[in-house]
Structure formats: C-alpha cells, structure tokens
Amino acid sequence: MRTYSGPFLTTEGFIQAEINIEGGKDEDDIWGDDDTPSVVDFEEGGDSGKPAVIIPTLYNAHTHVGDSVVKDVPKGNIPEVVGPGGLKFKALEKSSRDQMIKSIKMYLRKAVEDGIRDIIDFREDGVEGLSIIKEAYEDFEDDLRLFLMARPEKNRYNDWELNNLMNLSEGIGVSSYRDWDPDQLRRVAEVTKSFEKPFAMHCSEFEREPIEEVLSLGVHHLVHMIEATHDDLLACAIEDVPIVVCPRSNMFFGKIPDIPKMLDIEVKTCLGTDNAMLSSPNMFREMEVAYRCAKMKGKVDPLQILMMATWNPRKDLNLGYHNSQKESNGDARETYVILEAAGGKPAYDVVTKLGPRDIIEIVEW
Ligand SMILES: [Zn+2]
C-alpha cells in the first residue's frame, strides 16, 4: 500500500487530503496481473503520506486525432491549412489507411500517458473516417473514452449518409457555419437532435460568424470564438452554450483567445488541443499556454485554467465518462492523476510547472 497526501482537487477547488493506494505494477503481484492501482482509503486533512498533488484525470475537450498522420509544417492561414480542401485534407488524401491508423494509435497512446482519460474528437471524412478511427481506438477502449463527433464528408446534407453517421458516431461536429449552406446545415442539426445526439461546431475562428443563426441551430457547444464580440459571448452565456478554447492552435495562426473576457461574462469554458497536426494531446502544455495567453489579456486565476481541463468539461459538456456525474453516466469510473508535489500553490504549480513526467501514477477510485 502507498500513501499520498497533499492538495486534492474537488469540483469546488483544492482540499487537503490523504489517500491510500493498492495494486498496480509497483507492487509484487504473484498472479502476474497488471491490475489498475486503486484508492482504498481517503481521509480529508491527512498529511502523513508522500507529498503529492492529486487531480482528476485530464479531459481534452477538442481534438482532430485523425490528422496526426500529417507530418508537414503547415504554412498558410486557417482556411488554407485546415479549411475544406486545404493543406490538411490534401495531405490526408495521400495517406493510406494503415498510415492513418498507426498515427492515431501513437497519438492516443501519448494522450493516455499524459494523464488524459476523456477526449472529444471532431472526426472528418464521414463514414470512412469513423471506420478508421474506430479500428485505431480498439486498443485503447479500456483506458480512454473517445467521444466521436462525425460530420458529412462533403459539407452537404445527405439523408443516407447522416443516418449512417448517427448510427456510428455519438454526435455531429461540423467545421463552421461559413462552410455550409444554412438550410442544409439546419437539416443536419435537426436530424442530429432527433436522434438525441449533440450537434456542435467551430465558430468565429477565422472571422466572426452570425451568432444568432448559429445558436438557433441548438448547438451543444462551440469551439474557438476568437473573433466573437462581447455580445456574442454574452449570448452564449445566456443560452448556456459552453465554449471550448484551443489556445495553442489559435496562436499558430497568430490569434489569442480572450479567456479573461469569457470568464468575466461567465460563459462556460473548457480546453482542448485541436488539430493533431498542430499540437500534441498534452493538456499540461495547453493549460500552460492558456494561462500565459490569458495573462496577456487580463487577470486569471490558474485554478480556473485547471478547472477548464478537469471539472468544467465534465459538468458543462457532460459527454465524458471518467469522473462524470454519476446520475447521467451510471457506471462512470473515477480516475485521478497523482503528481509529484512542486511545493508551491497547487493550481499554479500544475498549470505552469508540472507535466507528464511528474505523474507518479494514475489511479482508480
Ligand atoms: Zn477543431
């Protein structure tokens, strides 16, 4: 048995706690099983164990895992690199199915090693795209919850295709309002909701998009909102539509999300790493960049950034599995990352100083 004590991140913030762990590969296991380490005892206020910082497993609320196969250094603006027909899609066309599966597996393995247990992925290439990612994901199903939001292959409504996507995916995540004919997009949104599945989209990433029309589609969440006005963000807060920000991806294109403004307006805010061709899945890096670029825009508490990668997506998006609210996900697993203590304020330490190499172990409760 191992004992750790230190700051423990709850939905309300850090509390001092002590936990006892049993199992896992660090212990002599006569049966040769590599069983998951699990928490056998929790005591609030205890401090006799090895010093540690304990947080829920990290939640990456926005990726495009599929473009991990693209290895070129991208050149150009957002539409030229990741827009329909852009560099990314040309590179994907040249890649074989085997190459794609291999790259996706490598990416997912890194995500698991980095302490991530939930990912929301916007999956391109319609039905074929889903078939590729599902084959790659088979090896990771026990460790990682990959929530797949698909999209029609040609940015056009097609009844047959959409019905197939509804059966094979968990929702729809489209590129942007500007890439679609509004009537066709509305039909996609309506069909998605008739299946009681979430419909989400990128919004105001390259240029401002009409928020009234976007919100009237009944979106589950929006990604980016860099070019959104104060009133656009306020509309999201009023309509209770969460925003996922991906600062490393935005900065690649010379843009910085205004995280302090989003937090001031009290819009629900989560964090993701976006395109695999631009960024690793590492949420420690994303939190650090989010914190530093938030400071360039105003004041931010590092705890708010840490929450964007842990509890906010669980509460606000409610699409995850690990540590999710038990009411909506009956059999959700509770999983925590135990980090080497850095000795300072825990949220600041996690966001600015700690990383995957500081993970002592990942435990189940
Ligand atoms: Zn994206």
∠ CA 12-16-20, nearest 5°, is 110
Centre of ligand 1 from the C-alpha of residue 173, in Å: 9
Q: Are 251 and 258 in contact (CB under 8 A)?
A: no
Q: How far apart are the CA of 84 and the centre of ligand 1, in A?
A: 12
Please, what is the angle between helix 126-137 and helix 97-113, to 10°? 50
Q: State in Å: Cα 355 to ligand 1 middle.
A: 23
How far apart are the C-alpha atoms of 134 and 364, rounded to whole Å?
A: 25
167 token code pair = 């059966």
- For residue 201, report the distance from its CA to the centre of ligand 1, in Å: 8
pLDDT in tens, 307-347: 999 999 999 998 878 887 654 555 678 899 999 998 999 99
Mean pLDDT of 49-74: 95
pLDDT digit string, tens, across residues 145-187: 999 999 999 999 999 999 999 999 999 999 999 999 999 999 9
- Distance between Cα 114 and ligand 1 center (Å): 20
> Is the per-residue pLDDT at 241 higher than 60?
yes
From the CA of 68, how far away is ligand 1's center (Å)?
A: 13
Structure confidence by residue, pLDDT tens digits, 276-297: 999 999 999 999 999 999 999 9
Quote the ligand 1 centre to 121 CA distance (angstroms): 8
Question: Distance between CA 22 and CA 37 in Å, rounded?
Answer: 6
Mean of pLDDT values over 206-232: 97
Burial class (CB in 10 A: 0-12, 13-18, 19+), 183: exposed
Q: How far apart are CA 9 and CA 178, in angstroms?
A: 40
pLDDT, mean of residues 95-113: 96
Measured in Å, residue 216 CA sits from the centre of ligand 1 at 21
Instruction: Record the pTM.
Output: 0.95
Give the pairing type, strands 274-275 and 58-64: parallel
* Residue-wise burial string across 86-120, b where 16 or more C-beta atoms lie within 10 A, e elsewhere: bbbbebbeebeeeebbebbbebbebbbebbbbbbb
Report how far residue 308's alpha carbon sits from residue 60's, in angstroms, rounded to the nearest whole number: 9
What's the gap in Å between 154 CA and the centre of ligand 1?
A: 17
Alpha helices by DSSP H, the chain: 78-82, 87-93, 97-113, 126-137, 159-168, 182-194, 211-216, 230-239, 247-252, 259-264, 283-297, 302-308, 311-312, 346-352
pLDDT of residue 18: 96
pLDDT given for residue 328 in this prediction: 52
- Distance in Å, CA 204 to ligand 1 centroid: 12
Q: Give 203 Cα–ligand 1 centroid separation in angstroms.
A: 10
CA of 63 to the centre of ligand 1 (A): 6
Q: How far is the CA of 248 from the centre of ligand 1 (A)?
A: 12
Using the Cα atoms of residue 149, residue 150, residue 155 and residue 161 in order, give the sign of their dihedral: negative
Span from the CA of 360 to the centroid of ligand 1 (angstroms):
31
* 60 Cα–ligand 1 center, Å: 12
Domain 58-317 has CATH 3.20.20.140: yes
Distance 71 CA to ligand 1 centre (A): 17
**133 within 8 A of 65, measured Cβ to Cβ:** yes
Question: Which is more confident, 244 or 327?
Answer: 244
Q: What is the pLDDT of residue 35?
A: 74
Centre of ligand 1 to C-alpha 245, Å, is 9
Residue 360: predicted pLDDT? 96
CA 42–ligand 1 middle distance (angstroms): 38
Q: How far is the CA of 296 from the centre of ligand 1 (A)?
A: 23
Ligand 1 center–CA 293 separation, angstroms: 19
Ligand 1 mean position to 39 CA, how many Å? 35
Alpha carbon of 65 to ligand 1 centroid (Å): 10
The fraction of the chain above a pLDDT of 70, given in percent, is 95
The 10s digit of each residue's pLDDT in 71-100 is 888 888 988 998 888 888 888 888 999 999
In the reported structure, the alpha carbon of residue 228 is separated from the centroid of ligand 1 by a whole-number distance in angstroms of: 16
Residues 120, 62 contacting (CB under 8 angstroms)? yes
| Domain layout of the chain by residue ranges | 2-56+331-364, 58-317
Q: What pLDDT is attached to residue 71?
A: 87
Ligand 1 centroid–CA 62 distance in Å is 6
CB contact at 8 A, 58 and 114: yes
18 within 8 A of 76, measured Cβ to Cβ: no
Q: Is the pLDDT of residue 32 over 60?
A: no
72 by Cβ neighbours in 10 Å (0-12 / 13-18 / 19+) ranks as exposed
Tell me how far the alpha carbon of residue 10 lies from the centroid of ligand 1, in angstroms. Answer: 29
